[in-house]
């Protein structure tokens, strides 16, 4: 083979290699730069658990409420000067916030688990109200339970009244876990935190009646009409029959949050967290 032929073959090989390299690099660049940012719905849930609203975030970050909505929708990135105040509002380190924003869900970075504690997010009341903890409160945080696998999806509150006194007394500290992260069976006796209209959050116990009906009920020392009981339908709304037969009111599928015979119906989507730990300060009864 002549030198001219060898040179020609090498030249053709170089041209093909360059074309392959450029095409693939451009393709990779286009993919990276057109990658859709993750939606950040977890931020909305975290804010609700703390009794915060979007306007509170906007004020802390120095932006407008629509810009906060864009962050949650995944159409706007969190800017560098917004990371620290947002992390503080969500109870995360900046490292965990960055990981969470990247994955589109609340994640605690592994190095943040060691020796960490849970902030007490406020006081829960039987009517669904959540009152922020006073800065003067002697207890602002609590140690993570030693048997917790991780602190992702854990939320800490103080019970504000006697609506659950049969199980959780006023003043007790409860730690609830997102059942989608921490295993918790949906069985009678379980205590759940239920979201409701107007950003309410209330604790109720799962009860199964003798007739087989499922209810979520308060456990006060005496009946109190301010503490409502709710029917519990464990079948997700999207699995219900979307087209009930006409004129069959008894078989009609209730929508989320509807009232049946004066009682709200709660679905699994309404469960915010399940109570896994309760801390109680022992106070001996006085003989005086």
d(CA 164, CA 175): 14
Q: What is the pLDDT of residues 144-194, one digit of tens each?
A: 887 777 788 899 999 999 999 999 999 999 999 998 888 888 899 999 999
Whole-structure pTM value: 0.57
Q: What is residue 25's predicted lDDT score, i.e. its pLDDT?
A: 45
pLDDT range class, residue 248, cuts 50, 70, 90: very low
Distance from chain centroid for Cα 270: 11
- For residues 154 and 118, what is the distance between their CA atoms, to the nearest angstrom? 8
Torsion sign (Cα): 218, 221, 224, 226: negative
Asked if residue 252 has pLDDT above 50, the reply is no
d(CA 193, CA 68): 26
User: Across 151-270, where does the E strand assignment appear?
Assistant: 154-159, 173-177, 191-196, 200-208, 214-217, 230-233, 259-260, 263-267
* Tens of pLDDT, residues 69-119: 999 998 988 887 888 889 888 888 888 888 888 888 888 766 555 457 889
228-240: b or e for each residue (b if 16 or more CB lie within 10 Å)? Answer: bebbbbeeebeee
Does residue 204 contact residue 218 with C-beta atoms inside 8 Å? yes
Q: Which two tokens stand for residue 272?
A: 């915010």
Q: What is the pLDDT of residue 30?
A: 35
Mean pLDDT for the chain overall: 79
For β-strands 230-233 and 271-279, DSSP reports them as unpaired
141/154 Cα distance (integer angstroms) = 13
37-114: CATH class: mainly alpha
Residue with tokens 């609340």: 106
Burial class (CB in 10 A: 0-12, 13-18, 19+), 48: middle
Domain with CATH 2.10.109.10 in the chain: 117-241+251-283
Tokens of 124: 């829960």
Task: Name which of 190, 143, 145 is nearest 167 in CA terms.
Answer: 190
Spatial distance between the Cα atoms of 107 and 99, rounded to a whole number of angstroms? 7
Which pLDDT score, from 0 to 100, does residue 13 have?
62
Rounded Cα gap, residues 106 and 104, in angstroms: 7
| 54-74 tens-digit pLDDT | 899 999 999 999 999 999 998
pLDDT band at 29 (very low <50, low <70, confident <90, very high): very low
Round to whole Å and give the CA distance between 82 and 102: 15
Band of residue 6 on the pLDDT scale cut at 50, 70, 90: low
pLDDT of amino acid 253: 38
- Long-range CB contacts for residues 258-265, cutoff 8 Å, separation at least 24: 260/231, 263/228, 263/229, 263/230, 263/231, 264/196, 264/228, 264/230, 264/231, 265/230, 265/231, 265/232, 265/233
pLDDT at 259 over 60: no
CB 254 within 8 A of CB 288: no
Q: How confident is the model at residue 33 (pLDDT cuts 50, 70, 90)?
A: very low
Cβ proximity of 54 and 47 under 8 Å: yes
- Report the share of the chain in percent with pLDDT over 90: 34
Helices then strands, each counted (H, E), the chain: 7, 12
The CATH architecture annotation of domain 117-241+251-283 reads Ribbon (2.10)
Maximum average pLDDT range among 38-52, 149-163, 272-286: 149-163
């Amino acid at each position: 083979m002549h030198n001219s032929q060898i040179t020609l073959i090498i030249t053709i090989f170089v041209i093909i290699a360059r074309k392959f390299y450029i095409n693939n690099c451009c393709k990779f660049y286009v993919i990276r730069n057109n990658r859709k940012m993750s939606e950040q719905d977890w931020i909305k849930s975290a804010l609700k658990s703390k009794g915060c609203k979007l306007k509170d975030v906007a004020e802390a970050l120095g932006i407008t409420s629509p810009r906060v909505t864009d962050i949650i929708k995944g159409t706007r990135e969190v800017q560098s000067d917004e990371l620290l105040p947002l992390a503080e509002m969500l109870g995360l380190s900046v490292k965990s916030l960055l990981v969470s924003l990247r994955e589109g869900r609340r994640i605690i970075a592994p190095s943040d688990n060691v020796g960490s504690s849970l902030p007490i997010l406020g006081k829960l009341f039987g009517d669904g109200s959540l009152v922020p903890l006073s800065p003067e409160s002697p207890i602002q945080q609590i140690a993570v339970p030693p048997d917790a696998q991780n602190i992702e999806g854990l939320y800490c509150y103080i019970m504000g009244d006697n609506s659950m006194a049969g199980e959780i007394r006023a003043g007790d500290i409860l730690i609830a876990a997102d059942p989608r992260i921490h295993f918790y069976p949906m069985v009678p006796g379980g205590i759940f935190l239920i979201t409701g209209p107007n950003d309410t959050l209330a604790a109720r116990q799962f009860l199964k009646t003798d007739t087989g009906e499922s209810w979520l009920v308060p456990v006060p020392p005496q009946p109190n009409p301010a503490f409502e009981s709710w029917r519990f339908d464990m079948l997700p709304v999207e699995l219900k029959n979307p087209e009930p037969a006409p004129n069959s009111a008894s078989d009609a599928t209730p929508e989320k949050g509807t009232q049946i015979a004066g009682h709200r119906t709660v679905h699994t989507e309404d469960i915010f967290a399940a109570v896994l730990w309760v801390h109680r300060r022992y106070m001996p009864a006085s003989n005086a």
